[in-house]
Structure 1
């Protein structure tokens, strides 16, 4: 049972208007409020919102399916920032936080692609971009719902269905979450509400407003309601990150040898064969892949320590900050016509706009992330690790480098700016009609969609080339290693933006992207009462999905060889490059240097870094970065044109995989028998049994070349039987059983028949879709026991088992470029069809199993004397054990391993202790989840993964009712400043991310009438 739905809420707690709208809608509550709170002795009569919570318990108890329901007042009773954080308090539900807020949910071990989210009964989508410490954050192109796009104030209730019945829409292996907005006939008459809050974020000492309002009225048979919510948020996250580990035994990851670079000299490490190259400055020829242009060998002792099998070291460790400016606007509206108890017509609509400006700052080691593969030959001073010397190193007993001193390294000073807007909408029309005493009809039609628009992401970096004395030391604290960059990172004189003899154009990346999801749906249901104990329900549904993804970019990694007109390599050509440079962006270094002789007017210094990180003494607290907004204003990098500084035109050619569309038509028919009979001497047996037939037709369109599109059709059918049954074992003790065959369709991001390619020397990769993927399929079993000892109290134990027959994995393998099916014209000079690429494809793979138990307790302390009876407790514990077969790379002979499912915590706990005396209330909520797997394998052919450490979030709320209808509140979130804390390797535990977002405080008031 959902904690919120069973925790006494405070009648004086400041609620959102939508929540206040539904707070007094149950007859049980209204009767209780008329009765008052008898404290003189005898039975305690529960008043206000406690009665509404009892109604939520009754809803769960009466349901034929296994559900949890969050009522409006319950959502208001917890100090949660958004819907995801409210839903996490349901047993079996965990969330992934992003920038300090809940973003996605995992239910019983399965993530967003396996959880369907509905808006007023219609499937919902929300494409957004991530807010991670890494650069070029990913865009959500899956079916998973992003809860960060909606203000929680818009919703009056949430229903979470954990079991499936034939009359429910298919598409979920885990749960279906239905978000409900308020309706005018939730409570008749004229009513209104307004709430105001001020937010304070201590990470960046900023303030922001939250406003919401609602007005509803009914007159006779008609009713109308409108509500709105507005909020701003200024968030900041800082931390350390190293999102990629390198196995030194990989043949492409060597440092300079122990002696000066001579392939014939003892001690030099020739790590692959000679590679032909063509370079404008050097001409054509062959050089060994580990050519050390620096001419400086590594320290022999350090080199011997690190040059061992299964020694891992960080590839791109660094410090980062990102800042978010977010604005949410939400509107709901509803019209209802109820001429009689037999007829109801409802028109509802939801609109949300979520704007976000994100600024990423990073200072990171770049050269460790560059494999050799001919890079030293093509770009002499951009070679990466092959030109760096290992001077000193320490390798721990697990093979993890925890200290290294390097010379001749390259450092990147980065700023990335992203502007994006997500608009989400839903409009639905529902007609309900009773015909006679036995027949019920329900017709529904609607549209829903999400439109993500990213006019630009601009990443610009300065380079500190060939720096000596770089030290990375994680021996004392792996979460906050000491990093000494070997030079003054605040001094512009120590970095360069021009090519500095590297033969490369400056690092300017511009990406424009969009994602649109549209759904048109219609459904018809009819239920006929056969007897007083049996009814037959039949119906059908049609859904038409349309998914479109677009992306254009000017991307540094695809700039290719330099485009020059002189041997000095400092006068690149803009507009019309030589034929050898066709298809690559150019930059006019001479013009740029003339207009900007120094970088000062295009730069800024990030200060105050690490205030909440408790960094070791000597850590960097300031560093210089490009000022992206200045580059936009003064250089015109977002003009999508060729100007005097360079060619900034955007193209889809190098982003073919993100230019695609999917059309999907789903048709379903079902028949279901509902029963409510007395068995075994008068015990009530209730439930349903039925079968659902589903046919899916999908057509995926993508690019196989810059000028060629292909559309690949696919179709499949599913028969989905289901059974839900509950029986009253003894008074107040209920047993439930459920079984269902279920399916979930592949994410839209996996279905493209084309792909995208990264041609960067030493980091060649391609990502290819698979339009012929089959869906995920599983069999779900549930058994639960529910005990209701008294009004407002609940104890429950639920067992569940999921037999997952098939899954989908994104697998990487080393293949010749010609195997990708992508055109050779995308390749730069020096590469051809035989060039080896890391090719990633989605593939159907074997399944696995998930089993677990949920324990739930809800107990108001009404049995205690005096003020103690105003206290109460709500808590739940979930244990999940999962096992799935992972392929470590693509191919029939690929190595496999068994591990847990992604994002599954074996143990999770939610607990709330509250006090409520009808005027003053307070509560403290704790949410804990175990460490969990986030990716496997973290690198092809390595049977190890990436993980998150356990997390504990503590939140609190205080509220005081001044007069009836007027309430003051204080919400306090993330009181322990819980960090995002991730690592790589189950045994090695190499730190990937350690970042904090700070505490959040919300002071507000609400008024209702």
Structure 2
């Protein structure tokens, strides 16, 4: 792979490498920190060499390393929330490695909490307290103590995080109210590719939480981190045998049932790790979950027309009329398989090597019955007229998988520490030949609707009769998307002194290459009589299996897939292939990212100043196809673009004491456009004299953000945290979808839908957290634990368009940004049982701008509040029985058009209850 870096960036890196100590005859100190009683590692503990004011945070395996130490006597000080402070005298000799083990005793409790929800909170807070940036950590025990089936659902418990759901299941993660595509996701230091054909965001439901050790969310980035994260960077860390000192085994089996479909679903998981010959660790995790469930939906797609009147009693919206209403009933099967095998090898005291692997497979089989009624002109509520109703069936299977292999290590020399890593990751999504839509049409009199919030169809009896509907068209499709990501990186660091002040310098480089491709083929079978299909075979009665079970109102007859396939197989596929749709959605996008950085920090008494500069060079090569329906010609489209970004950063951390930390940060980050936005394909059509265009925009600029953060953290007791933070983001080039018809180059077009860069956006917010263990209360209340957080964000974005010779503007919220996200968990945990009740809330957010000059047509996703419960009984010290309740209040998904009164989509999922048993030898 080629790597081109500006001379100035390389010079900075070489200057850092040229820093050296006064002499090469120096010593090293290596050690580990353990719990006095359990002998287990205490990750996140802070170790300080008192005489040098040199501090380091203990790694996940409990180890720490200091290199380049001069001969002499030193005092080691160790602190860990929930443990009594400790110190120990040591001696370091030149050209030798001093080994030391530090054990910590509990402070005011029987033992240091390292397991269970309380132990997980303690580890998370220790890791957060010692970090150089603003960091939130969720450990494996937290992941297992909530009714969360995947990583995304677990992350909704983190301050400032919420999730986007699909069919009621958490999939994508939002950080500080911002969309998933504005955040990055890595696993074991490697960026995960996305199986989604058009996105960068990784749907984290494909990675089971049973395979993990922890998840870290960085809300401020240091220069040694990839810069493409506006909201935050999510780092997933998988199991390692050295996370524990002995053999580890975790077995669980579970059944679940939802109230909408009453299906019973199994889940099995096993995690195992062990250490062989004291230097080889092997960890294995396997998780399998097979779920049958469904959802009921009614949507308008935002097809409202607002008629201005003198009586604007609905926030200026006046009367409203609706163009169409669509009832949908989904039946879904989702099967997840996750396998992780990890090796750690310590060939010497100075070298650690590792190999991490992940295989995740996600099979989604979906059957959707739809009944859509459309009127020739917009219809007001309770008014009846002639309408066209289409009953449709969509039946498809999609397979997504992610495979990731990363190999690397750390070598510690006399003065320097070298970290190195190489990775190969692929993600794919395949939809084999599937029924993308089979439409049965009826033209009915006296149809209408009532209720603009959750619309219901008003229809005659014929609406529910199979003989009123005739097969009109069948669409068959296949699709394949693939995302391949290769990267190589190294980091070189060392510690030294500048006078009386300890200093650390770090430099490194990273090369990554990414290839994203999408292929789709479509066959549209129309004019069926002309192809020999009989009148009898066109009647819905030949394909219906009875009325659909639909909770929102009466639905009417459903459609079965099997007899439709008989019709399809009798017809000529080549004649019915849609050459246009089979071409314009295909693309290949190749992306090159070269990066280099230099950073360092200096400790001046209680203040750590960390600063640095990162350079990232981005290049894109996109290829696709367009079709001009007026000339009837296809065209190949090839575009290249590149960007260079210099990204400085400054982090200030003032540790007033072991329990109080003040942080400030100035950082610069970027977000690259999604692949769907960059796709070069286009379609130009003409109908009834109107020209309609839809196209991607390969020339979009990346979002750039200047970020300011200020936070204060105070830790108290064994498990206690009170923190408050302020943040501000100044964003250039934010991206939104818009119709440019009638403006600029598209002044004669009826529609011209694409993606454009907005002018600017500003986001600011407040983030609050409160964690409290109530050990000071009398029994049994002393077992209560509260974990809560709230994030408030506000934004102002500006969009503009041409209206003749005028440039018009209006302000909108930042797309996909919620003003409020909040989480509340109240738990009771002792040696016999634990019970946790939790709530996750996010406020409404702008989903899409559909008309530039009319805010009444902006689509919003409504507020969402979900309550969950988990109760666990410890039958023995190793065996537990648990019960989980998900979405206890049956919270629906709702989106609206400009005003909550006007439906865009309403969908309900029911409640889910889980019963399981777990064995842990830990």
TM-score tier, shorter chain, comes to 0.7 to 0.9
Distance (Å, rounded) in 2 between the aligned partners of 1:29 and 1:961: 26
Are the counterparts in 2 of residues 654 and 758 from structure 1 also a CA contact under 8 Å?
A: no
Pair 819,454 (structure 1): closer, same or farther in 2 beyond 3 Å? farther
> Closer, same or farther in 2 for the Cα pair 1:451/1:97, shift >3 Å?
same
Looking at structure 2, the residues matched to 447 and 519 of structure 1 have their Cα atoms a distance apart, in angstroms, of 6
Residue 930 of structure 1 contacts residue 950 of structure 1 at CA under 8 Å; is this kept in 2? Answer: yes
Once residues 659 and 105 of structure 2 are traced to their aligned partners in structure 1, the CA distance between those partners, rounded to angstroms, is 26
Find out whether 1:911 has 2:824 as its counterpart: yes
Task: Give the match's secondary structure for 2:221.
Answer: coil
1:626 and 2:626 matched: no
SS at match of 1:171: coil
Q: Is the 2:436–2:476 Cα contact (8 Å) retained in structure 1?
A: yes
Tell whether the 8 Å contact from 2:341 to 2:358 is kept in structure 1 after alignment: yes
- Answer whether contact 1:812 1:889 (CA < 8 A) is retained: no
Residue in 2 aligned with 1:447? Answer: 424
Per the alignment, residue 690 of structure 1 pairs with 612
Task: Please tell me whether the aligned partners of residues 728 and 735 of structure 1 are also in contact (alpha carbons under 8 angstroms).
Answer: yes
1:211-250 equivalences in 2 (<5 Å): 211-220=268-277, 221-247=279-305
Go from structure 1 to structure 2 and tell me whether the alpha carbon gap of 1:761 and 1:900 turns closer, same or farther (over 3 Å shift). same
- Tell me how far apart the structure 2 counterparts of residues 644 and 725 of structure 1 sit (CA, whole Å): 70
Alignment of 1:670 with 2:601, yes or no, is no
- For structure 1, list consecutive stretches of 5 or more residues without a partner in the other structure: 1-10, 12-21, 129-139, 251-307, 369-383, 394-400, 498-505, 557-584, 614-618, 638-642, 679-683, 821-833
Q: How does 1:458-857 map to 2 (within 5 A)?
A: 458-474=435-451, 478-497=452-471, 506-531=472-497, 533-555=502-524, 587-589=528-530, 591-593=532-534, 596=537, 598-610=539-551, 613=552, 619=553, 621-632=554-565, 634-636=566-568, 643-644=570-571, 649-678=576-605, 684-705=606-627, 707-729=634-656, 732-756=659-683, 765-814=692-741, 836-857=749-770
CA contact (8 A) 1:657 1:752 kept: no
Looking at structure 2, the residues matched to 628 and 759 of structure 1 have their Cα atoms a distance apart, in angstroms, of 34
Q: Counterparts of 1:2-13 in structure 2 under 5 Å?
A: none
- Of 533-542 and 189-198, more deviation after overlay is shown by 189-198
Q: Establish whether residue 91 from structure 1 lines up as the match of residue 159 from structure 2.
A: yes
Pairs aligned (count): 814
Cα distance between partner residues in 2 of 1:939 and 1:913: 44
Alpha-carbon contact 2:890-2:910 (below 8 Å) kept: yes
Residues 330-361 of structure 1: CA deviation (Å, up to 9, x unaligned): 11011111123321000001011101111111
| 1:937–1:743 Cα change, 3 Å | same
**Counterpart-to-counterpart distance in 2, 1:23 and 1:236:** 43
Tell which has more relative contact order, 1 or 2 (C-alpha 8 A, sep 6+).
Answer: 1
Equivalent residues in 2 for 1:51-450, closer than 5 Å: 51-128=119-196, 140-220=197-277, 221-247=279-305, 311-366=319-374, 368=375, 384-385=376-377, 401-406=380-385, 408-436=386-414, 438-450=415-427
Mapped contact 1:109–1:901 kept (Cα < 8 A): no
Of 959, 967, 972, the residue aligned with 2:880 is 967
The TM-score normalised by the length of structure 1 is: 0.76
Per mean C-alpha deviation after superposition, the further-off stretch among 59-68 and 452-461 is 452-461
Offset, 1:835 = 8.3
- Is the Cα contact below 8 Å between 1:658 and 1:756 reproduced in 2? no
Match of 1:626, SS? coil
SS state at 2:464 partner: coil
Change (3 A) 1:889 1:513: farther
Verify: 1:884 aligned to 2:861, yes or no: no
Which secondary structure does the structure 2 equivalent of 1:84 belong to? helix
In the alignment, the residues of structure 2 paired with residue 158 and residue 233 of structure 1 have an alpha-carbon distance, to the nearest angstrom, of 25
Shift of 1:322: 1.1
Q: Distance between the aligned counterparts of 1:550 and 1:644, measured in 2?
A: 24
**Distance in 2 (alpha carbons) for counterparts of 1:835 and 1:628:** 43
Superimposed CA distance per residue, residues 629-658 of structure 1 (whole angstroms, 9 cap, x where no aligned partner) = 3212x1236xxxxx5477564345235442
Q: Which moved more, 1:993-1002 or 1:892-901?
A: 892-901
Encode CA deviations 1:59-103: one digit per residue, 9 max, x unaligned.
111101110011111111222232112111212112111111111
SS in 2 for 1:605: coil
Change (3 A) 1:625 1:607: closer
Which range moved further: 756-765 or 190-199?
756-765
Distance in 1, Cα, partners of 2:83 & 2:255: 35
1: CA distance between counterparts of 2:815 and 2:166?
Answer: 17
Q: Distance in 2 between matches of 1:105 and 1:763?
A: 40
- 8 Å Cα contact 1:489/1:622 also seen in 2: no
Residue by residue over 1:700-743, the C-alpha shift from the partner in whole angstroms, topping out at 9 and shown as x without a partner, is: 11113465323211111010001111102356221100111111
CA contact (8 A) 1:109 1:882 kept: no
2: CA distance, partners of 1:246 / 1:193 = 53
Contact 1:657 1:768 in 2 (8 A): no
CA distance in 1, matches of 2:508, 2:786: 42
Aligned mates of 2:713, 2:510 — CA distance in 1: 33
Deviations 1:189-229 (A, max 9, x none): 43322111111111101011111112322112212222111
Answer yes or no: is the 8 Å Cα contact 1:356–1:421 preserved in 2: yes
Q: Distance in 1 between matches of 2:367 and 2:400?
A: 18
Q: Normalising by the residue count of structure 2, what TM-score does the alignment of the two structures yield?
A: 0.83
Deviation at 1:913, TM superposition (A): 0.6
Aligned partners of 2:422 and 2:487 also within 8 Å: yes
Q: Which sits farther off after the overlay, 146-155 or 865-874? A: 146-155
Q: In the alignment, is residue 861 of structure 1 matched against residue 769 of structure 2?
A: no
Alignment of 1:987-998 (within 5 A): 989-998=901-910
1:827-882 per-residue CA deviation (whole Å, 9 max, x = no partner) reads xxxxxxx9844111222221110000011000000111111100110101111111
Distance change (3 Å), C-alpha of 1:204 and 1:887: farther
Q: Tell me: CA distance 1:760–1:207, structure 2 relative to 1, closer, same or farther (3 Å).
A: farther
Given the superposition, is the C-alpha separation of residues 312 and 225 from structure 1 closer, same or farther in structure 2, using an over 3 Å criterion?
Answer: same
Q: Distance in 2 between matches of 1:488 and 1:762?
A: 36
Give 1:1008 shift. Answer: 2.7
Which structure has greater strand proportion? Answer: 2
SS at 2:124's partner residue? helix
The verdict on how the C-alpha distance between 1:186 and 1:704 changes in structure 2, with shifts beyond 3 A counting, is same
Kindly state the Cα deviation for residue 596 of structure 1 after the two structures are TM-superposed.
2.8
